[in-house]
Structure 1
Amino acid sequence: MGLRNKLLQGAVVLALLAGVVPAVASDSPQMLKWADLIPKTAPAQPSKAKTFFGGSTPVHGDDAAPPPLAEGNFMSVKRRQPGSDRPPEVVADLDGKSVSIGGYVVPLDFDATTVKEFLLVPFVGACIHVPPPPANQIIYVKSDKGFEVGGMFDPVTVTGKLTTAVASTGLADAGYTIAADSVQPRTK
């Protein structure tokens, strides 16, 4: 009878663990790659011509150079994004999920070296150069406590709750928003 009770207790423990482990696993953030933010039904973006230094060639409706900006006003003018004439194509299934994704910081709100609001982008220099990436490749991040910037070109990993709420900023529109629980430097 003692062996039977021990086996029964073991079965109960295993049943309890079977119910607990998935709950713990579902609490861990989903690791995302930038390609995960593009719906599978989205049309492929045509590749643009590259300049000698590897950046994209600016696209203007009439192929004329844009008018020069007064000194100091470069960051205040919103640039035209690919697909900016329609709502961003986002993956609706990601709305409300706890996620973790790596990228680069384009600061929006900072105090000295502490950044509280920023755009997370997939590559260095996105949103600084013309044109910015499509909205589904930009994430608006708000971190209540902020984080210390190591270097402008250092990658970070952001963990928090992702929503498909579009955020419009002076630099670009973001197709996703993250309320950051943590922003950590990423090892290369």
Structure 2
Amino acid sequence: MRTLLLILSLLVALPLQAADAYPEIKWEELVPKGWNPAKDLQALDFNNLKDSDPRALEAMEKMKALWDNAPTEPALAGKKVRLPGFVIPLERKGEQVTEFLLVPYFGACIHSPPPPANQIIHAVSAKPLGKMQTMDPVWLSGTLALERADTPWGKAGYRITVDKVVPYQAPKRK
């Protein structure tokens, strides 16, 4: 009887363990605490600068350099995570995707300047994934690495080894 109870308790715990294998993180967790790229630009009054002003151009170059070199969160190295985002395909095999960027908001890198490197994840899958279009919303599960990638769409601060990608569905409210 004890053996049967032990087996039943293990079977009940399995779905909980599977869910915990990829704890959900928020995009803010990818940014190290205390990182504030705006502090270097606070002295400028952008309201009084025209786009062609050399000080505005210099500030934009400085901001781009800060964002391209945005620090990553060391505590996330090697962690299994799950997070939502938008897809920007990089590598395809036929109609299937093997590499893509995951970004936190619609239009990032495509219709606007790229976000900081610590807000772009380079996703790599060992096997081709199903059809994915630019800006498809997905849930991505995998293992994070602190590896930078220079892509045509922006500099990624993280790399994730893809274990699972599913279409995004909003969490059910409790």
- TM-score, with length taken from structure 1: 0.65
Find out whether 1:38 has 2:31 as its counterpart.
yes
Q: Mind listing any 5+ residue stretches in structure 2 that lack a counterpart?
A: 42-50, 58-62
1:81–1:133: 8 Å Cα contact kept in structure 2?
Answer: no
Instruction: Please tell me the root mean square deviation across aligned C-alpha atoms, in Å.
Output: 3.4
Report the CA distance between 1:118 and its aligned residue: 0.6
Report the CA distance between 1:150 and its aligned residue: 5.0
Q: Which residue of 2 aligns with 1:83?
A: 66
Report the CA distance between 1:26 and its aligned residue: 9.6
Report the CA distance between 1:146 and its aligned residue: 2.3
Q: Mind listing any 5+ residue stretches in structure 1 that lack a counterpart?
A: 1-5, 48-57, 65-79
- Paired with 2:52 and 2:120, the residues of 1 have a C-alpha distance of 19
Q: Which residue of 2 aligns with 1:107?
A: 89
- Paired with 1:92 and 1:170, the residues of 2 have a C-alpha distance of 25
Q: Which residue of 2 aligns with 1:180?
A: 162
More helix by share: 2
Which of structures 1 and 2 has the bigger CA Rg?
Answer: 1
- Paired with 1:96 and 1:139, the residues of 2 have a C-alpha distance of 14
Report the CA distance between 1:132 and its aligned residue: 0.7
- Paired with 2:161 and 2:53, the residues of 1 have a C-alpha distance of 34
Report the CA distance between 1:152 and its aligned residue: 3.1
Cα deviation digits, residues 79-130 of structure 1 (max 9, x gap): x846146x32111000000111110001110134311101100011111134
How many residues align? The count is 149
Cα deviation digits, residues 29-50 of structure 1 (max 9, x gap): 1211111111111116489xxx
Q: Secondary structure at the match of 1:125?
A: coil
1:30–1:97: 8 Å Cα contact kept in structure 2?
Answer: no
- Paired with 1:187 and 1:137, the residues of 2 have a C-alpha distance of 21
Q: Which residue of 2 aligns with 1:76?
A: none
Moved over 6 A (4+): none
2:101–2:123: 8 Å Cα contact kept in structure 1?
Answer: yes
Q: Which amino acid aligns with 1:36?
A: E
- Paired with 2:149 and 2:107, the residues of 1 have a C-alpha distance of 19
1:59–1:131: 8 Å Cα contact kept in structure 2?
Answer: no
Paired-residue identity, %: 38
2:67–2:115: 8 Å Cα contact kept in structure 1?
Answer: no
Q: Secondary structure at the match of 2:118?
A: helix
- TM-score, with length taken from structure 2: 0.69
- The alpha-carbon distance between structure 1 residues 82 and 104, as it changes in their structure 2 partners (threshold 3 A), is farther
- Paired with 2:93 and 2:109, the residues of 1 have a C-alpha distance of 20
Report the CA distance between 1:153 and its aligned residue: 3.2
Q: Which amino acid aligns with 2:134?
A: M
